[in-house]
């Protein structure tokens, strides 16, 4: 049986809106390179590009 991965061993990024660190989640497995925001709230509050 495979060993469990520690949360501290998972990759992390900084949120583009709030600047807080967030870690990899299973639901982001296929799109991790495209994830920029830690939550839907930060995604909705992102600065509008003009």
Structural domain of 37: 10-44
Residue at 21 is within a domain:
yes
- Is residue 5 situated within a structural domain? no
Predicted local distance difference test score (pLDDT) of residue 8: 83
CA 1 to chain centre: 28
Full-model pTM: 0.74
**Total count of domains within the chain:** 1
Q: Is residue 23 part of a domain?
A: yes
* 17 is a domain residue: yes
> How is residue 23 annotated by DSSP?
E
- Structural domain contains residue 14: yes
In a domain, 22, yes or no: yes
32, two tokens: 């991790």
pLDDT digits (tens, 9 = 90+) for 1-50: 677 878 888 899 999 999 999 999 999 999 999 999 999 999 999 777 65
Q: Residue 7 region, left (φ>0) first, then alpha (ψ -120 to 50), else beta?
A: alpha
């Amino acid at each position: 049986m495979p060993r469990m991965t520690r949360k501290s061993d998972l990759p992390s990024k900084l949120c583009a809106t709030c600047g807080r660190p967030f870690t990899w989640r299973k639901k982001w497995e296929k799109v991790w390179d495209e994830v920029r925001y830690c939550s839907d709230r930060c995604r909705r509050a992102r600065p509008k590009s003009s």
